[in-house]
Amino acid sequence: MQESGTPTHSTNRRTTAILIVDVQQDFCAGGALAVPGGDQVVPVVNPLLARASALGLTCYATRDWHPSHSNHFRPRGPWPVHCVAGTPGAQFHDDLRLPTGTVIVNKGVRPDSNGYSAFDPGQDDETDLAVDAARRSITHFVAAGLATDYCVRASVLDALRRGFEVTLLADAIAAVDTTPGDGQRALEEMRAAGAVIAAAVDVPLG
């Protein structure tokens, strides 16, 4: 019997994982679809990854992993060719320090998929974020990466829709801002949908 006044942790314990979205060469300076300020998320995310790793938390890193011919690319889609599977542009940023054991999530692997969301169906269960997160009883994602108005937005909204809690690190994201204000609007949309907005330095990882 629990004494009255003693908090019951066992029933609503949350299990946190880190979700780093698309910190890839093509979205950073000199890349095929460089996001303004994209590189600047790297030094913010690295200490977070180190903290998470020390705590034994699961870290996920998504990557756009497109076929060379994709409806996502011009002339059918809106974007220049970027993050083609296996090419240098699809590699994670050179300075990104992903802890050993980071789970890589490929997305946009089918020619008919934009792959904006980290929950884009993977090739198999091994690479499916929803399946993997369920297996590990993850309930909460701490999310950061690129780009605020596309893949971060889609991933965070999808996670919330699926019942995960999400903390979004406002100092570790950057927007394409095709239309000025897109990033800010996406941030507001994610907040309105239930994301908690925080800064990487002091985000609680418990």
Q: Give me the residues that bind ligand VGL (CB under 6 A), please.
A: 22, 27, 33, 64, 79, 146-147, 150-151, 176
Residue 28 is among the residues annotated as catalytic for this protein: no
Residue 158 is among the residues annotated as catalytic for this protein: no
Q: Which is nearer to ligand VGL, 28 or 59 (CB)?
A: 28
Residue 151 is among the residues annotated as catalytic for this protein: yes
Cβ-contact 71, 128 below 8 angstroms: no
Q: Which is nearer to ligand VGL, 33 or 157 (CB)?
A: 33
Q: Which of 107, 120, 128, 177 is catalytic?
A: 107
Shortest CB 176 distance to ligand VGL, Å: 6
Shortest CB 50 distance to ligand VGL, Å: 24
Shortest CB 202 distance to ligand VGL, Å: 26
Q: Which of 28, 59, 83, 151 is catalytic?
A: 151
The residue with tokens 């908690």 is 196
Centre a 10 Å sphere on the Cβ of residue 140 and count the other Cβ atoms it contains.
Answer: 19
CA distance 143 to 166: 7
Q: How far apart, in Å, are the Cα atoms of 193 and each of 24, 73, 104, 190?
A: 27, 29, 26, 5
Q: What is the DSSP secondary-structure string of 16-74?
A: EEEEEE--BGGGSTTSTTPPTTGGGGHHHHHHHHHHHHHTT-EEEEEEE-B-SS-TTBT
DSSP bridge partners of 73: 79
Q: Which is nearer to ligand VGL, 39 or 53 (CB)?
A: 39
Q: Which is nearer to ligand VGL, 53 or 73 (CB)?
A: 73
CA distance 166 to 68: 32
Shortest CB 172 distance to ligand VGL, Å: 14
Task: List, by residue number, the catalytic residues.
Answer: 22, 107, 151
